[in-house]
Amino acid sequence: MKKIKLIAFLFVLFISFTACTVTKNDNKDNNQNTELNETNNTDNVTDLKSNDSDEEGIDFVSAIIIIAIVIIAVAFSFFFFKNVFPVGLWFKAWTAGVRVGIRAFLNMYFQKIPPDKIVNNLIVSRKAGVYLKVKQLENFYLAKVDIDKIVEAQIKAYNSHVEVSIDQLAQAYLAKIDIDKIIEALTLVYSTGISATFEELSTLYHTGVDIVHVVKAKIKAKNSGFIVEFNQLAEHFLAGGNLDKTVEAFIAAKKADLKDFDFQDIADIDLAGYQVFQIVEKAIIPKVIEGDRVRGIARDGIEVSMRLKVTLRAKLKYIIGNPEESTILARINESLATEIGISENHYDVLENLFMLAQKIEAKKLDQNTAFDILSIDVSDISIGRNTHAELLTENAKAETQKAKADLIRAEEKLKKAISAAFMDGKISINQYENLMNMQADTRMRNSLSKSDMVNDEEDNPENIDGDDNKKEH
- 158: Cα within 13 Å, side-chain hemisphere: 16
3-state secondary structure of 207: coil
Q: Which pLDDT score, from 0 to 100, does residue 437 have?
A: 75
Better-predicted residue by pLDDT, 440 or 58: 440
Check whether 27 has a pLDDT greater than 50.
no
Backbone angles phi, psi at 71, to 5 degrees: -65, -45
Better-predicted residue by pLDDT, 29 or 431: 431
Q: Which pLDDT score, from 0 to 100, does residue 152 have?
A: 93
Check whether 386 has a pLDDT greater than 60.
yes
Q: Using CA atoms, how far apart are residues 301 and 127, in angstroms rounded to an integer?
A: 99
Most confident range, picked from 44-53, 62-71, 363-372, 421-430: 363-372
**Residue 459 CA, distance from chain mean position:** 86
- The mean predicted confidence, pLDDT, of the chain is 79
Domain ranges for the chain = 2-84, 128-284, 287-388
Q: Over the Cα atoms of the chain, what is R_g?
A: 60
- Tens of pLDDT, residue by residue over 192-209, are 888 888 999 999 998 999
80, 350, 363, 375 from 358: Cα distances, Å:
102, 14, 9, 9
Among the listed residues 312, 411, 445, 420, the one whose alpha carbon sits nearest the alpha carbon of residue 371: 312
Q: Which pLDDT score, from 0 to 100, does residue 194 have?
A: 87
Q: How far apart are the first and last CA of the chain?
A: 135
Among the listed residues 309, 310, 312, the one whose alpha carbon sits nearest the alpha carbon of residue 283: 312
Check whether 151 has a pLDDT greater than 50.
yes
Percentage, residues of the chain above pLDDT 70: 76
> Which residues, at least 6 apart from 192, have a Cβ–Cβ distance to it below 8 Å?
219, 222, 223
Percentage, residues of the chain above pLDDT 90: 32
Contact yes or no for 138/150 (Cβ under 8 A) = no
Q: Which pLDDT score, from 0 to 100, does residue 280 have?
A: 93
Average of per-residue pLDDT across 335-363 = 85
Average of per-residue pLDDT across 62-91 = 73
3-state secondary structure of 454: helix
Check whether 100 has a pLDDT greater than 90.
no
Confidence of residue 62 (pLDDT cuts 50, 70, 90): confident
Q: Which of 52-61, 242-251, 302-311 has the lowest mean pLDDT?
A: 52-61
Among the listed residues 380, 316, 385, the one whose alpha carbon sits nearest the alpha carbon of residue 353: 380
Cβ atoms within 10 A of the Cβ of 445, count?
10
Check whether 242 has a pLDDT greater than 80.
yes
Q: Using CA atoms, how far apart are residues 42 and 40, in angstroms rounded to an integer?
A: 5
Q: Which pLDDT score, from 0 to 100, does residue 213 have?
A: 94
Better-predicted residue by pLDDT, 444 or 167: 167
Q: Which pLDDT score, from 0 to 100, does residue 149 have?
A: 94
68, 83, 90, 109 from 4: Cα distances, Å:
18, 11, 21, 11
Helix axes 353-362, 325-341, angle to 10 degrees: 130
Most confident range, picked from 9-23, 34-48, 433-447: 433-447
User: CATH code for 287-388?
Assistant: 3.30.479.30
Q: Which pLDDT score, from 0 to 100, does residue 384 have?
A: 75
Contact yes or no for 197/231 (Cβ under 8 A) = no
Confidence of residue 456 (pLDDT cuts 50, 70, 90): low
Q: Which pLDDT score, from 0 to 100, does residue 29 have?
A: 47
Q: Which pLDDT score, from 0 to 100, does residue 2 have?
A: 46
Confidence of residue 217 (pLDDT cuts 50, 70, 90): very high
Q: Which pLDDT score, from 0 to 100, does residue 430 have?
A: 72
Q: Using CA atoms, how far apart are residues 341 and 295, in angstroms rounded to an integer?
A: 9
Contact yes or no for 141/134 (Cβ under 8 A) = no
> Which residues, at least 6 apart from 443, have a Cβ–Cβ distance to it below 8 Å?
none
The H helix count followed by the E strand count for the chain is 21, 4
Average of per-residue pLDDT across 344-368 = 86
- Tens of pLDDT, residue by residue over 393-408, are 777 778 778 878 877 7
Average of per-residue pLDDT across 21-33 = 47
> How many residues in the chain?
473
Among the listed residues 89, 90, 87, 91, the one whose alpha carbon sits nearest the alpha carbon of residue 79: 87
Check whether 264 has a pLDDT greater than 60.
yes
Q: Which of 23-37, 95-109, 196-210, 383-397 has the lowest mean pLDDT?
A: 23-37
Cβ atoms within 10 A of the Cβ of 367, count?
11
Q: Using CA atoms, how far apart are residues 192 and 181, in angstroms rounded to an integer?
A: 17
Confidence of residue 74 (pLDDT cuts 50, 70, 90): low
Check whether 451 has a pLDDT greater than 90.
no
pTM: 0.63
Q: Which pLDDT score, from 0 to 100, does residue 324 have?
A: 87
Cβ atoms within 10 A of the Cβ of 163, count?
11
